[in-house]
Amino acid sequence: MKRFVYSVNCLLILILNLFSQIYIAPAPDGSDENPGTIDEPYGTFAKAISESAPGDTVYVRGGVYNLTSTITITIVKSGLDSLMCIMTAYGDEQPILDFSAQSFGSKGISLKANYWHIIGLQIKGAGDNGMEINFGSDNIIERCQFYDNRDSGLQLSYGSTNNQIINCDSYYNADPDNYSDADGFAPKLTVGSGNYFYGCRAWGNCDDGWDGYLHGADDVTTTLENCWTWGNGYLKDGVDPGSQANGNGFKMGGGDNSNSDSLMHHFILINCVAFENKGKGFDQNNNLGSMTLFNCTGYDN
């Protein structure tokens, strides 16, 4: 029995050592000259991502990261179905990725890979989307916040499929000077099928809470469950920027292709709530796809 227990313990140690734990911290504590350990963390996301492999965990220490360029995770850094790459806030610390100094039109995080699980990051001030999942599929974005970005907080584009967005918040996103595109969550334009939002909230975005408007995609399905949206169509200070800021809670479709009268964005909403939006709580927007609303509530829109 002792020999068996010893063998099991050795096996567990071997398995744990197969996967790296990589640490990153904001200046002045982090440096890419460090080995990336908890005591000597890396200083940039690019370095941490470059050192990661399927099954590894990148721990992001708390504090403010002042960033000026897009964090890109490319397809060659994808995880595997059974071995996702993980990027997570360390413990209960709060890492804030501040892109306020970034040039207009630049994304905060561009996720072009598959099988990443990103947890507990705050992403603010990006020159465009706080995060864009771009050609990326089978990712999980959990307990992240997207705010004060200069376009939609989180957008899914270019055929991104089967992503899960869980318990995330997106708020106070606005695109100057037009104020017509910045949504909380945007599974729109060229989005793929099978994306799922659970327990997410969107408020105070200058355009819509959720926007499913299509341009380049067709016959795709998006599901929302236990999601809330309110107060959209206004700026952070409560000012109405004009009619171009639609202010819908859940916009389920529409399109501007030459065949826009036939584009189908199949939307499923379960236990969702929309209230006090400038426009409609639930907007079909000429969508020819199937739209299923189960146990949903709209109030004072």
Task: Read off φ and ψ for residue 233, nearest 5 degrees.
Answer: 100, 5
Q: How far apart are CA 201 and CA 209, in angstroms?
A: 8
- pLDDT at position 19 is 74
Q: Look at the block and give the residue holding tokens 């341009």.
A: 215
**Which of the residues are catalytic?**
251
Helix (H, G, I), strand (E, B) or coil at 91: coil
Please, are residues 39 and 90 in contact by the beta-carbon 8 Å criterion? Answer: no
Confidence of residue 14 (pLDDT cuts 50, 70, 90): very low
**Span 207-244, pLDDT tens digits:** 999 999 999 899 999 999 999 999 999 999 999 999 99
Tell whether the model's pLDDT for residue 97 goes beyond 50: yes
pTM: 0.93
Q: What is the pLDDT of residue 126?
A: 99
Write the DSSP string, 187-228: E-BT--S-EEEES-EEES-SS-SEE--BSS--SEEEEEES-E
Q: Which H or E element spans position 112?
A: none
pLDDT tier at 177, thresholds 50, 70, 90? confident
d(CA 66, CA 97): 7
pLDDT above 50: residue 1: no
Domains of the chain plus CATH, in order, are 55-299 (2.160.20.10)
Mean pLDDT for the stretch of residues 10-37: 78
Do the Cβ atoms of 271 and 223 come closer than 8 Å? no
Chain-centre distance for alpha carbon 31: 27
Residue-level length of the chain: 301
Confidence tier at 258 by pLDDT (50, 70, 90): low
- Please list the alpha-helical segments (H only) found in the chain: 2-18, 45-50
Q: Which of the four pLDDT bands, split at 50, 70 and 90, describes residue 8? A: very low
- Per-residue pLDDT, 255: 81
pLDDT in tens, 263-290: 999 999 999 999 999 999 999 998 999 9
The whole-number pLDDT of residue 120 equals 99
Whether the pLDDT of residue 13 is over 90: the answer is no
Report the distance separating Cα 261 and Cα 288, nearest Å.
Answer: 7
* 142-174 tens-digit pLDDT: 999 999 999 999 999 999 999 999 999 999 999
- Rounded CA-CA distance 111/10 in Å is 36
